[in-house]
Structure 1
Amino acid sequence: MKLDVLYEDNHLIAVWKPAGLLTQGDATGDANLMDEVKAYLKETYQKPGNVFLGLLHRLDRPVQGVVLFAKTSKGASRLSEQIRDRTIKKTYHTLVESVPQEPAGTLVHHLVHDERTNTARVYATEKAGSQRAELSYKILSRNLEAKPPKTLLEVELKTGRHHQIRAQLAHIGCPIVGDVKYGASQPLPDRSIALAAVSLTFKTATTNETITILKEVSFLC
């Protein structure tokens, strides 16, 4: 595959992950984005031996979007600190079934990862082993004539939990289009889901300059 590099400096590289591609290798042995980025760095800069690449965050396999990696240990340390401090801004666009009750809002739940089903269970109050999950959303457009009705949302993550957007939106009756794991009416032909990480804002590792990476995705509402 041809790597879609969206941003690169001496310490960081941001690329676009297509839906269906793993972010990081797993037991399946399937192709993954991390290996593709390593191969790009090795070839582009003629690096001998193993290439350092720090994974800063992940996207689920059926999700497309911007993924940021660290090319150096300094980059990994500085950006990991921003992630811990929640100063990195992550924005998603998603097409969901149904229409949220409010045109914009904040969702706060407590999620428990069910390892047996690899899903997140959603609770209104704190439970044993749960993690607090928060996101905000606003409606961009909607199609009430579709069956079922569909709504295009912009979502900003405040926390980064396993399957957070998928689980929280499904919990309010708005599963993401194609996400049959969380209650969508039918899968998409390519097994992806209508969720994309379209924007990432962070500070560079050394100059502290604020960078925003943005790539538009069209989900037909």
Structure 2
Amino acid sequence: MRELHVKCLLPVRLDKYLMEQFPALGVGRLNKALRENKIKLNGKKQPLSTRVQNGDIVRLFLNDDVLEKRALPAAMLVYEDDDILVVNKPAGVEVDGPADDTLLKRVCATLAGRGGPSQAMLCHRLDAGTSGLILLARNAAAEQFLTEAIRQRQIQKRYLCVTFGRPQPPAALLHDYLSKDAERGVVRILSAPAPGAKEILTGYETLAVSGRLALLQVDLITGRTHQIRAHLAHIGCPILGDSKYGNNAANRELHFKYQALCAWELRFPAQIEDARFSRLAGRVFHAEKPWYCRQLLDGTLR
């Protein structure tokens, strides 16, 4: 329980006051705490629109981990310098958005906790259910450099995934077209050009097989929405755990909540002309291989 003795010159709304004291709370958590009778103003439950004033006492019956900003565990920070961050995102965490807990908010909380600038900008994204490496910029110059390098495909992205089904041939470069269905929040893979469809290239190589499953290394050459997930499903080998494009019966049987897809490697170009970022030339960053890779290799996962 936290007890706050209000000290302010002018009355202020209760929700605004609490979010100033505990930025990690957010409106959603505040409303939930109020519904659960965990916020008391002068001993009584009051609407969040109530104005508090000097001398009021607010009691919060919430755990510290709810009140404090969530920072990055050390293992999630793969690389850091004055310009960029490489962070290993766990599956199930949104990269950004209105949620109280996102990767971007964790990064900013970590930087703020050191007492220095807390600014960080996302340079690309991963689906919430996909784990792996994310690049963030710490200033405008780095943001421009990273986003342009990604746009021009100078930074190579390599993934690991487990598919339900063994692809044939075991290695290939898939070349098709992707069309978005914005209303349903899905994409379709087409074998020929069509209005609104964008060209996609996805390379894969089978690293191991186990029963009905295969462990693949995937090179994302073009980076479209849901590209890897939809492209592999299109050839009859959906990613295990993918509820949108996959085999839900297999997902339930094998107890996969999130897709077995990890952005495992980021590879910078061998030469970088901009002297400010030349130290990154040839650098290769890896995420820790997910648990399901080990289980497929030892035959536990079949």
TM-score in same-fold range (> 0.5): yes
Contact 2:157 2:266 in 1 (8 A): yes
1:217 aligns with 2:290: yes
Q: 1-side partners of 2:282 and 2:183: how far apart?
A: 40
Q: What is the 5 A alignment of 1:139-178?
A: 139-144=206-211, 149-178=212-241
1:170-207 superposed Cα distances (whole Å, 9 cap, x missing partner) = 00000000112103243364621100011111257724
Partner of 1:22: 94
CA-based RMSD = 1.7
1:7 aligns with 2:76: no
1:139-159 superposed Cα distances (whole Å, 9 cap, x missing partner) = 000013xxxx10000001001
Q: What is the 5 A alignment of 1:1-221?
A: 1=70, 2-3=72-73, 4-26=76-98, 29-44=99-114, 46-47=115-116, 51-144=118-211, 149-186=212-249, 187=251, 189=255, 191-202=257-268, 206-208=276-278, 209-215=281-287, 216-219=289-292, 220-221=295-296
Contact 1:22 1:30 in 2 (8 A): no
Number of residue equivalences = 212
Any stretches of 5+ residues in structure 2 without a counterpart? Answer: 1-69, 297-302
- Which residue identity does 2:157 align to in structure 1? K
Give how far 1:10 is off: 0.8
- Which residue identity does 2:204 align to in structure 1? Y
- Which residue identity does 1:13 align to in structure 2? L
For the pair shown, the structure with the greater C-alpha radius of gyration is 2
Q: 1-side partners of 2:152 and 2:158: how far apart?
A: 17
Q: 2-side partners of 1:30 and 1:142: how far apart?
A: 39
Q: 2-side partners of 1:133 and 1:35: how far apart?
A: 31
Higher RCO (CA-CA < 8 Å; seq separation 6+): 1
Contact 2:163 2:216 in 1 (8 A): yes
Contact 2:240 2:246 in 1 (8 A): no
User: Which range moved further: 4-13 or 186-195?
Assistant: 186-195
1:90-127 superposed Cα distances (whole Å, 9 cap, x missing partner) = 01000001111111100111111111221111101111
1:10-58 superposed Cα distances (whole Å, 9 cap, x missing partner) = 10001111100001114xx2411011111111112x136xx33221110
Which structure is higher in helix share?
Answer: 2
TM norm structure 2? 0.67
